[in-house]
Amino acid sequence: MRSLKLFAIPFAAVMLLSACSGNAVTQPETTTATTAPAATSENTETTTTEATTTAETTNAAEEPAKIEGAYTITRVTGEPDWSAVPELHLDNILWQPDCGVRASGQLCYDDENLYVHLYATEQDIRAENTEPLSPVYQDSCLEFFFMPEGEDRYFNFEINPNGCLYIGFGHGRNDSTTLYRCDAETFFDIRPGRTDDGWEVFYKVPLSFVNTFCPDAKFAGTLRANLYKCGDKTANKHYLAWNYVNSEKPDYHRPQDFGTMIFE
């Protein structure tokens, strides 16, 4: 779902908008437990219990925090093996009656790229838009919104079955800048395709792209994000989301409703 206020940026040019400065910038290509000897069997039992508790506490501190409902982004080496990457499902059907459309996604990463695979079960596919900056949300559309850790702005990647990509960046619906690259297909390695029961798309988000706007961002820690499926002008209008959206009317530009993802 696209923001209403847009500003096109010639991303392929050397002058880029820095989200952090607001100015144009040039893109450069043990813990040791000591236990006293026990005097009695009762003291031995007590001391053993205390040592076990200490060890459990130490191990718990070393493990990454577990967040209920969070999705783990798998770390990969080389070409992603998608059969080994966990799925997430866009199970929240919003604002329209259930028309049978379903969608899912997978995310993984390495030091340089965040890899995205989105797919939809959809019979009446609409794919009218082919030009850059087209309103792809009107077509059968799969969307990935994400906010790097420590940032207060988010990127929205919206794509249709033609591989036509729209990217926005900002705080919300009324504060979003449209980003454009003339080489988007190759830069993001966009690969759309039809399946027996719908369509899918693969693409990647280079860390170098994210760092252009968020210099301190890393593929580490957590990511606030949501995934969506929509089709404003499809035969069966629909809105799906991974994390529930608390809005009475269609609006995906709500970072307060993003879920949590954890880099493995």
The ranges assigned to domains in the chain are: 8-14+67-263
Which residues are CB-neighbours of 189 under 8 A, at least 6 positions away? Answer: 202, 203, 204
Model pTM score: 0.77
- What are the φ/ψ torsions at residue 75 (nearest 5 degrees)? -85, 135
Maximum Cα–Cα distance across the chain: 82
C-beta of residue 116 within 8 angstroms of C-beta of residue 109: no
The number of C-alpha atoms within 13 Å of 4 and in the hemisphere containing its C-beta is 3
Q: What does the pLDDT look like over 192-201, one tens digit per residue?
A: 999 999 999 9
Tell me the C-alpha distance between 185 and 24, whole Å: 24
Mean pLDDT for 61-85 is: 83
pLDDT band at 164 (very low <50, low <70, confident <90, very high): very high
Q: Lowest mean pLDDT: which of 4-13, 50-59, 75-84?
A: 4-13
pLDDT attached to residue 1: 54
What is the domain class of 8-14+67-263 according to CATH? mainly beta
